[in-house]
Amino acid sequence: MMFDNPLLFFICSLGVFNGLLVSIYFLLLDKTKRVPNFLFGLLTFFLTVRIGKSVYTIFTPREERNLWIVQIGLSACFLIGISLYYYLKSSVTKTKKIPLNWKIHFLILFLVILIVGIIKPYAIDTLFWNTYFVKFIYLVWGIYVVMSGFILKDVFNKLFSKKETCTTSEVWLVAVYMSNLLIYLAYIIGYFYFYFVGTVTFSFVFYGLVLFFLSKKNRESIFKDLPEKYSAKKIESKEADYLKLQLDTLMKEEELYKNTAIKLSDISVKIGVSSHKLSQFLNDNLGKSFATFLNEYRIEEAKKLLKENHKITLESIGFEAGFSSKSNFYATFKKVVGQTPAQYQKQFL
C-alpha cells in the first residue's frame, strides 16, 4: 500500500520529526535525571521509530523498500508497551532509581526481539513475521497497555470522583495513557483495514499532548513528582476519631465554612494541631482536600436554606452558605448533589 498525498506526508513526517526531538531531549539532555522523564523519552523514542517505519512504508513503493527498516520499526513496536508501563509506574511510585528487575524485564524483551530478528530476519522470512510474529508483537503491546491501565486505577477513580480533584501531573498521566491506547487501537484497525490510521493518529495525539504541555502551569508540574501522600504516617484511628469530632463540632458551632476566606491554618489553630497534621488527617484519613471538606458543610447549609427560604435568590443562598461566587456554588452543588440548586429547591415548593 502506497500513498502520494503531500499533506498526509507532511502531517505524518512532522509528527515523527518532533517525536524524535522530544525523545532525544528526555533521553540525553534532561538535566533533572528523573527516572520517569527518562522512561518517557524511551517511550517516545520507540513510538517514533514505529511511526517512522509506517511513514516509510506508506510513502515508499513496495519494490524500493528496505526490509531492514521495516524490521527495526516492528521491533521497536515490541518495546512500546513495556516503556509505557514502567513510565506510568515510575511516575505513580516516584521511582528514584530504575530497579534491577525492571532492567532485567527490559533486557528479556530486547533479547527476544533481537534473537528472532537475527534467526529469522524480516527480509528473508517475511511470511513468518506477517503471519505470526507481528500478531505476537501486537499481543504483547496490548497486554502492557491493559497492565498500564491498572497502574492508573487510583488516578482514574480520583478523576471520576465527586470529592477529589486530580493534580495536573495525574491528568497528564491519564492523557499519555489514553493517547497510547488510541495509537494502539489505531494500529489494530490499520492492521486489518487502513494502514495509515495509526500514523495519522500519532501525529494528532502528539500535538494534543504538546498543547497540554505548552501551558506554563502544566509545564512546571507534569514532569515533576506527584504530590507525596501521608500513607506511611497515617493518623491512628483513636486520634483520628477525636480530630473528626473536634472538627465537626467546631464547624457546626462556629460555622467557619461560611467565611469565604477561611484557611486551613485558621482551623488548625482553633483545634490545637499543626496545619500539616490537619492536612494529613483530611487527605489520608478522610480522603478529601480542604476545599472539599469545606464544601460539604456549605452544600448541607445550602440544602437547608433551599428547603426553608423560598423568597431569597439562589445566588444569595450560595453566598450565605459560604460560596465565593454563583458559578462556584452552582458547579459544586451539581457535582455533589447531582441536581442544580433550582432543581433541588423545586421539590420543596
What SS3 string covers 31-47? CCCCHHHHHHHHHHHHH
Q: What is the pTM of this model?
A: 0.61
Residue 172, all three cell numbers? 497528564
Domain assignments of the chain as residue spans, ordered by start: 6-219, 231-346
Dihedrals phi, psi of 86, to nearest 5 degrees: -75, -25
How many beta carbons lie within 10 A of that of residue 250, not counting itself?
14
What separation in angstroms does the CA of 312 have from each of 87, 91, 258? 53, 49, 17
For residue 121, give Cα distances in angstroms to 77, 78, 290: 16, 15, 59
Residue for cell digits 488548625?
A: 268
Contact partners, residue 120, CB within 8 Å, separation at least 6: 128, 129, 133
CB of 309 closer than 8 Å to CB of 298: no
Between the alpha carbon of residue 322 and those of residues 32, 105, 302, 313, 315, the distances in Å are: 42, 54, 9, 15, 11
Q: What is the C-alpha R_g of the chain?
A: 26
Amino acid at 18: N
User: What is the reported pLDDT for 118?
Assistant: 95
User: Whole-angstrom Cα distance, residue 11 to residue 207?
Assistant: 10
According to DSSP, residue 226 is labeled: P
pLDDT of residue 53: 81
CB neighbour list of residue 256: distance below 8 Å, 6 or more residues apart: 250, 262, 266, 267, 270
Class of domain 231-346: mainly alpha
The whole-number pLDDT of residue 8 equals: 64
Residue with the three cell numbers 512546571 = 220
Q: How confident is the prediction along the chain (349 residues), in pLDDT tens digits per residue? A: 444 567 666 666 766 777 788 889 888 988 778 899 899 999 999 988 888 887 777 777 778 888 999 899 899 989 999 999 999 999 888 888 899 999 999 999 999 999 999 999 999 999 999 889 999 999 999 999 999 999 998 888 888 876 667 777 888 888 889 888 888 887 777 665 555 555 555 556 655 665 555 554 555 556 655 555 444 456 777 888 888 898 989 888 888 889 988 898 889 888 888 888 888 888 888 888 888 889 999 999 989 888 887 778 888 998 998 998 888 899 998 888 888 988 888 887 6
Task: Choose the CATH number for 6-219 among 3.40.30, 3.30.9, 1.10.3470, 1.20.1070.
Answer: 1.20.1070
* pLDDT in the model for residue 232: 44
The whole-number pLDDT of residue 1 equals: 47
Helices (H) and strands (E) in the chain, counts: 18, 0
The Cα 58–Cα 53 span in angstroms is: 9
